[in-house]
Chains A and B, each alone.
Chain A
Amino acid sequence: MGRNKSTCLCIIIMLCFLGVNMISPQQTEAFSNQVIQHGATGDDVIELQARLQYLGFYNGKIDGVFGWGTYWALRNFQYEFGLEIDGLAGEETKQKLVKASKYDEAFVKEQIAKGKKFTHYGGVDKEKQSAPAKTKQAGQGETADDGPTVTAVNVPQGFSQNDIQLMANAVYGEARGEPYVGQVAVAAVILNRVESPSFPNTVAGVIFEPGAFTAVADGQIWLTPNETARQAVLDAINGWDPTGNALYYFNPETATSPWIWSRPQIKKIGKHIFCK
């Protein structure tokens, strides 16, 4: 399969080189001047993926997130074109890429806006590269102009968006009136419990452990969390733990259990005292 691909590639690349001079005047827009690296998102990444796909290096979805698939494709491109292989789309790499490929921005953006499955291979008829839109999409508002163009998101290793959402619900229910750090702290306690041998081993297990969180017991967990709570959860997942490895916290004004006062206290953030 590898050999087939590379011969195919060579042909495409040669064709492209032949066409370069004729094509370039039409290219009104290319990359912005940023260096694109692993983890980036946005329009430049879409263009990068589309161009790499045009040349046959990238076979994944054009989703606007620079993930591992894009990384390897870019490195292969750099290898084949005799560039420094660093997996960064810098000035030189971008120039080579722009020279070697075409990017039909209108087509790509339209496909993304319509939620269609599509590809952007060079030398293939556009009609054939676009699959019909999913039916569920049709009913939704057609905000093609400002609609989000990036169709994927970065998630921290080992967590899904839904895990993050669930934690954001818990954090919002428990600590929405607290300062930002207090919210990160509550999220960190949830994660510390997942790690601890004395508690369940999953986020859901910890959150829904009966009696563990008052917001779960009284249903406040099902309030819609705001962006701050979500951001706090992301920080906690990315390694911020303002609590210093706390496993418990309580509000000294409302705590009823004398047991909780016997725990060694670490610090107070906002209204909550965090302890071991």
Chain B
Amino acid sequence: MLRWILIGLLTLGIAGTAFWGYQEHQEKNAILIQAENTYQRAFHELVYYIDLIHDEIGTALAMNSDQRLSPQMVEIWRLTSEANANVGQLPLGLLPFNKTEEFLSNIGDFTYRTAVRNLNDEPLTEEESDILQSLYEQSAEIEQELRKVQHLALENNLRWMDVQLALANNDENVDNTIIDGLKTVEKTVEGYTESNVHSALIGTSAKQHAFENISGKEIGENEALRISRNLLNLKDEKQITLTETGDGADVPLYSASYHQKGKEGYVDILKQGGHPISLLIQRKIGERKISLNEGSRKASEFLKELGFENMEMFQSSEFDNIGAYTFLYNDDGIKVYSDAVEVKVALDNGEILGLTAESYYKNHRDRDIPEPEMSNEEAKKMVNPNVEIHEEGIAIIENDLGEEVLVYDFLGTYNNDTYRIFVNAMSGLEEKVEKLGGTELNYAVN
């Protein structure tokens, strides 16, 4: 009797487990299919958008009237951004597919720049037409390669989940059509980037002459240790671990770090000249004893000690009893936005917690600043008359094309919002309008 009951119970148990297992399996499959569908959508949409981009560039080539050309460029720009968004959703994290993204984003930049320009006054140049032509051809190749992959994927019912697995396991032997196809696309695009380097397709960025104007001689390890010990306020150099940067660094650095109980420090020092470019100290911050204003004085003294001259505080802000300050280089009354230095001060005892001068060392140099061709009053007329201007100055900023331009710098209000408006001092072009925020409701409290 007992035996039969036991057998019955066990059978029930097995049946129950089987049923539960089956359900789990079903659920897992449902989720897998859902993920797979998301990937499929992203991929097919990507191919579709590349098709469209190719066609639209073709149409743009045939257009003669400049009035139609601008909206057409905007359309291409929009499509590249859509296509890029889809690339970002594909499980390609481990597969280098960046060149393709970069290519798309370059098309986007180029079409954007031409679209926002007044094509009536400045029609496409010969060179730009050539670029458009070559973009047309290049996008045709990508289109074809991607279509091939798409065709194979559809024909053989290939799944992106398998791609992801293959990529994650890094299995070289797996014959995966999708991966191979995408690698071909990437190779093709890589070829373009090289040929496009010298064309106007890639904007001239100020980043290209980065770190060219650093003064001083190259320092050795001992010197680096001495400088970092001073900055970190340590008695002993033995606590410091010093390392050097590798081949990939933009500029050779020494990095010094130390770790104590409850306190960590890190300094990056330029090998050339031994200038500290970045400093970070992390510790628990106690109750606030000094004000944001006093902190700014500490920060500005600190910069003077380091040999920064003509730095002017531009902005200050308090987060969790830490004062964060931005200083800008002031060139005879002209604010240079690209020569910025940030300093962090602990508001419990006034200790300097951080410094970053990367953009300063990247951009700072002796500039030949031309006289503005427009007067302040003329420039003001270019600003929306509804904006009430309260503060004004003159400055150098980097515009959308990455060029340094001389601008009038207006700070004004419209309704309850504050705006910073930059008007080109030569052409009167409104280079940048920025709505200043900086505070937000604390959702954790409210």
Q: How far is the CB of B345 from chain A (nearest CB, A)?
A: 12
Is the CB–CB distance between B446 and A37 below 8 Å?
no
Q: Is B94 an interface residue (CB 8 A)?
A: yes
Is the CB–CB distance between A200 and B442 below 8 Å?
no
Q: Is B320 an interface residue (CB 8 A)?
A: yes
**Whole-angstrom distance between the alpha carbons of A206 and B290 in the complex?**
38
Most buried by B among A40, A152, A228: A40
Interface residues of A in 162-183 (CB under 8 A from B): 162, 179-181
Q: Is B105 an interface residue (CB 8 A)?
A: yes
Q: Which residues of A contact B264 (CB under 8 A)?
A: 179-181
Interface string of A183-204 (1 = CB under 8 A from B): 0100000000000011111000
Which of these, A156, A209, A246, A276, contacts B93 with CB under 8 Å? A209
Interface residues of B in 222-261 (CB under 8 A from A): 243-251, 253, 255, 257, 259
Is the CB–CB distance between A197 and B105 below 8 Å?
yes
Most buried by A among B90, B98, B109, B438: B438
Q: Is A69 an interface residue (CB 8 A)?
A: yes
Given A37-B296, A266-B246, also A60-B416 (CB < 8 A): yes
Is the CB–CB distance between A72 and B443 below 8 Å?
no
Given A65-B439, A197-B102, A205-B85, also A34-B248 (CB < 8 A): no
Interface string of B150-180 (1 = CB under 8 A from A): 0000000000000010011110000000000
Is the CB–CB distance between A239 and B342 below 8 Å?
yes
Q: Is B418 an interface residue (CB 8 A)?
A: yes
Interface residues of chain B: helix, strand, loop or mixed (majority): mixed
Q: Is A225 an interface residue (CB 8 A)?
A: no
Q: Which residues of B contact A88 (CB under 8 A)?
A: 293
Size category, A interface: 35 or more
Q: Which residues of B contact A201 (CB under 8 A)?
A: 81, 84
**Whole-angstrom distance between the alpha carbons of A208 and B93 in the complex?**
10
**Whole-angstrom distance between the alpha carbons of A160 and B342 in the complex?**
20
Q: How far is the CB of A265 from chain B (nearest CB, A)?
A: 4
Interface string of B319-331 (1 = CB under 8 A from A): 1100110000000
Interface residues of B in 85-136 (CB under 8 A from A): 85, 88-94, 96, 98-99, 101-102, 105-106, 109
Q: Is A41 an interface residue (CB 8 A)?
A: yes
**Whole-angstrom distance between the alpha carbons of A264 and B245 in the complex?**
11
Most buried by B among A184, A206, A258: A184
Interface residues of A in 50-85 (CB under 8 A from B): 59-60, 63, 65, 67-69, 71-72, 75
Q: Which residues of A contact B34 (CB under 8 A)?
A: none
Given A38-B316, A180-B280, A267-B243, also A244-B250 (CB < 8 A): yes
Q: Is A212 an interface residue (CB 8 A)?
A: yes
Interface residues of A in 104-162 (CB under 8 A from B): 115, 148, 150-158, 160-162
Q: Which residues of A contact B323 (CB under 8 A)?
A: 39
**Binding stretch for chain A, among B49-57, B137-145, B351-359, B369-377:** B351-359
Q: Which residues of A contact B164 (CB under 8 A)?
A: 210-211
Most buried by A among B85, B278, B290: B278
Is the CB–CB distance between A35 and B291 below 8 Å?
yes
Interface size of B by CB at 8 A reads 82
Given A68-B438, A151-B445, also A259-B291 (CB < 8 A): no
Q: Which residues of A contact B217 (CB under 8 A)?
A: none
Is the CB–CB distance between A259 and B94 below 8 Å?
yes
Q: Is B282 an interface residue (CB 8 A)?
A: yes
Is the CB–CB distance between A210 and B316 below 8 Å?
no
**Whole-angstrom distance between the alpha carbons of A264 and B278 in the complex?**
21
Given A68-B436, A154-B317, A180-B282, also A210-B248 (CB < 8 A): no
Given A63-B439, A211-B92, also A267-B266 (CB < 8 A): no
Given A153-B440, A181-B266, A211-B167, also A68-B282 (CB < 8 A): no
Q: Which residues of B contact A71 (CB under 8 A)?
A: 418
**Whole-angstrom distance between the alpha carbons of A205 and B81 in the complex?**
13
Q: Is B294 an interface residue (CB 8 A)?
A: yes
Interface string of A233-276 (1 = CB under 8 A from B): 01100111110111000000000111100011111110000011
Which of these, A35, A161, A199, A206, contacts B98 with CB under 8 Å? A199
Given A152-B440, A154-B318, A157-B438, also A181-B280 (CB < 8 A): yes
Which of these, B280, B340, B390, contacts A75 with CB under 8 Å? B390
Q: How far is the CB of B221 from chain A (nearest CB, A)?
A: 15
Q: Is A16 an interface residue (CB 8 A)?
A: no
**Whole-angstrom distance between the alpha carbons of A38 and B411 in the complex?**
14
**Whole-angstrom distance between the alpha carbons of A67 and B439 in the complex?**
6
Q: Which residues of B contact A59 (CB under 8 A)?
A: 416
Is the CB–CB distance between A151 and B442 below 8 Å?
yes
Which of these, B94, B290, B437, contacts A257 with CB under 8 Å? B94
Q: Which residues of A contact B243 (CB under 8 A)?
A: 267-268
Q: Which residues of A contact B310 (CB under 8 A)?
A: none
Interface string of A10-41 (1 = CB under 8 A from B): 00000000000000000000000011111111
Is the CB–CB distance between B90 and A36 below 8 Å?
no
Q: How far is the CB of B436 from chain A (nearest CB, A)?
A: 6
Q: How far is the CB of A58 from chain B (nearest CB, A)?
A: 11
Is the CB–CB distance between B105 and A152 below 8 Å?
no
Most buried by B among A38, A60, A155, A180: A180
Q: Which residues of B contact A242 (CB under 8 A)?
A: 255, 266, 268, 278, 280
Is the CB–CB distance between A42 and B288 below 8 Å?
yes
**Whole-angstrom distance between the alpha carbons of A156 and B316 in the complex?**
11
Of all chain B residues, which has the CB nearest A197? B105
Q: How far is the CB of B394 from chain A (nearest CB, A)?
A: 19
Of all chain A residues, which has the CB nearest B436? A68
Which of these, A115, A158, A263, A269, contacts B248 with CB under 8 Å? A263
Closest 6 A-B residue pairs measured CB to CB?
A211-B93, A264-B248, A34-B291, A197-B105, A198-B98, A39-B317
A-B CB contact pairs (8 Å), 18 listed: A37-B296, A59-B416, A71-B418, A72-B413, A72-B418, A148-B445, A153-B440, A180-B282, A210-B92, A212-B93, A238-B342, A244-B251, A264-B246, A266-B245, A266-B248, A266-B249, A267-B253, A275-B248
New A-B pairs, 9, CB < 8 Å, besides A180-B282, A181-B282? A63-B441, A68-B413, A88-B293, A160-B440, A161-B444, A200-B85, A212-B93, A242-B266, A266-B246
